[in-house]
Chains A and B, each alone.
Chain A
Amino acid sequence: MKRYAYYLSCINESMTKEVDRSIGLWQKDLGIEFVKLHEGTCCGGSNLDYVSPKHFALVNGRNIALAEKMGLDLIVSCNTCLMTIRSAKKKLDEIPELKKEVNEILKKEGLEYRGTSEVRHLLWVLVDDVGLDTIGKKVKVPLKNYRIAPFYGCHILRPSTVLGHDNPRDPSSLDQLIEALGGQTIPYKHKNRCCGFHTLLVAEQESLNVAAEALQEAIDSQADFIVTPCPLCHTSLDGYQAKALKQAGVERSIPVFHISEMVGLALGYSAKELGIKRHIVG
């Protein structure tokens, strides 16, 4: 059983609780254990970094130090948390004075940021550590009748200087996971585009336009559903779907799943167990 420290993203603690619920169901089936970091705090959601770069370094240096104390890698299931915490790690590793300043303060809690734990996405753990073959062998209900649109989202791909797992121009890890679960991926131009989430409250029209384009391409391509590794993309594409498509004059709809739910379905868990009924689009 390989163990990991699991970062609790704010959105998965509130709006998208089904993500962590799903992971909780199948983690042992795949021989992995995610130890929840209850002491972890909000990463700043790609905002704290410019509001106060030093608080950003402290907060995320601490999040990583908590995992380091346990001697485990830090696993994240939200793209923006991933990008944000990795950006902080990059800064702390590159700027010794910043690391020193952060560590002076972290001493209070008996913590130290050393830079020994990696910060990785759930998707990467599934593809690289568990392995596609192992996942394939565990599948009980292959997704063979489904045409699936893989929506990666931005912050698992860009900036590539911080992420660096997939080619941001032509990513493949999510496609591979879908295929390992027996599903069929469709060619999807929006796979590496944006969902508009980060401007939902600031430039709503623009944000909904961005989401509508991604939804429309999946609908036009006759996908059965969209799958995403990010709960923020999910919120934009599922929660705001009706509004986005209404604005675009599209009268159809398409379900959107998290990767954790897609894995759960293929491993034989029911939609009810996985919390899929919590989605806005049925």
Chain B
Amino acid sequence: MTAPTDQHREGKKDVTFRIFRFNPQVDSKPYFDDYTIQVERGITVLRSLNYIKEHIDASISFRAFCQAGICGSCGMRVNGLSQLACTTQVWDVLAKSREPGIIKVEPLRNLPLIKDLIVDMDPLVDKMKHYSNWIDSTMPESSMGKKEFLISEEEFLRYDKATDCILCASCVSECSILRANKEYVSPAVLLKSYRMNVDSRDAIHGERLAELVKDHGVWDCTHCYRCQESCVKSIPIMDAIHGIREDAIELRGMKDTSGSKHAEAFMSDIEKKGKLVEATLPIRTNGIVWTLQNLLPMAVKMIMKRRTPPPPPLVKSAKGIKIFREMFREMTEHVRQDHKSHKK
């Protein structure tokens, strides 16, 4: 550990990089190696790693290519947070380090480890294939190259931000649901799926959407916003996830999955009572059989503790519900008109 010295004012610091090491062919378990080097202001984590590899220990493995935040290769966790090593300034990280002078560097989470800081991206690529993360053109092959595909400015704006994704997998690493189940579609794939689905040149919108609403798909997201918060390109990933859900409800109705039924309950309860009727939410989401099988023992406990009322669940409407309902329905009419004029 380095105590603050005159070096700081001169723009140089001794920094210890505590690097995660694991070679599954040799090591029985992971460990950390410390490398202390002098770093100048303005130096990135990636340049520091390059220096260590060139001058101290050539056996450290990490991926990197463009060094400019474009290629997405150098995603890793720096002091616990998934980000690009090439756009992360050592001094910025140090300012927030819990242990003064030490920067911990670890591989991304939620992807299999290959060696040291390198993870296997294949599961992500497989999911991109599974969810058809490409444009399957509406233009017949015979016409390709002969005429242009013009896109309106308005349409482009809908996926402009989503196209910024460089597949660095920082969001994948931070995702709460992926941490709980590796089968989950993952935020990066939802973002790509949204980007393809709102493109008018695409012909397989319906098929892709049908896949996205299945198990481990778009409805499993728990709205934790960790993906969005860690995105190195500041893409509003949750807007894309909500965009797919909005699309699914519009095209597939509100009754085809437990996720859409759950969402529908909010809309109908608000219109009827101005309040959510929580006690019946499990039944309306998953049906009576699922609720009895999964929640009966807990429901009994909840009723005993008066956390939930015994049936029938009576919820008092919000005060002034009559006029509220009128206003709610007036907005429903607005939405209907919007749909008619294709303006959403």
Contacts and interface: CB of A to CB of B under 8 A. Distances in A.
A83 to B, nearest CB: 8
B223 A59 contact: no
28 contacts: A11-B278, A13-B315, A15-B278, A15-B308, A39-B318, A41-B274, A50-B242, A50-B263, A51-B245, A52-B335, A55-B270, A55-B331, A59-B270, A59-B328, A62-B324, A80-B223, A101-B334, A154-B226, A159-B229, A160-B229, A193-B224, A201-B282, A203-B219, A203-B222, A206-B220, A210-B222, A239-B307, A278-B307
B275 interface: yes
A199 to B, nearest CB: 4
Given A39-B320, A206-B177, A51 B264 contact: yes
A45 interface: yes
B179, B327, B328: most-surrounded residue (chain A CB, <10 A): B327
B264 to A, nearest CB: 7
Interface stretch (A104-112, A141-149, A259-267): A104-112
Contacts of A165: none
Contacts of A207: 180, 222
Contacts of B294: 204
B246 interface: yes
Interface in B287-319: 294, 298, 301-302, 305-309, 315, 318-319
A198 B263 CA distance: 11
A96 B229 CA distance: 27
Contacts of A201: 258, 262, 281-282, 285-286
A216 to B, nearest CB: 13
A49 interface: yes
Q: Is the interface of B mostly helix, strand, loop or mixed?
A: helix
B43 to A, nearest CB: 22
A205 interface: yes
Interface string A175-209: 00000000000000000011011110111111101
A130 interface: no
A158 B228 contact: yes
A210 B180 contact: yes
A28 interface: no
Interface residues of A, number: 64
A169 B96 CA distance: 10
A229 interface: no
Contacts of A38: 318-319
B242 A49 contact: yes
Contact of B225 (A52, A158, A196): A158
Nearest to B221: A199
A160, A198, A203: most-surrounded residue (chain B CB, <10 A): A203
Contacts of A52: 267, 331, 335
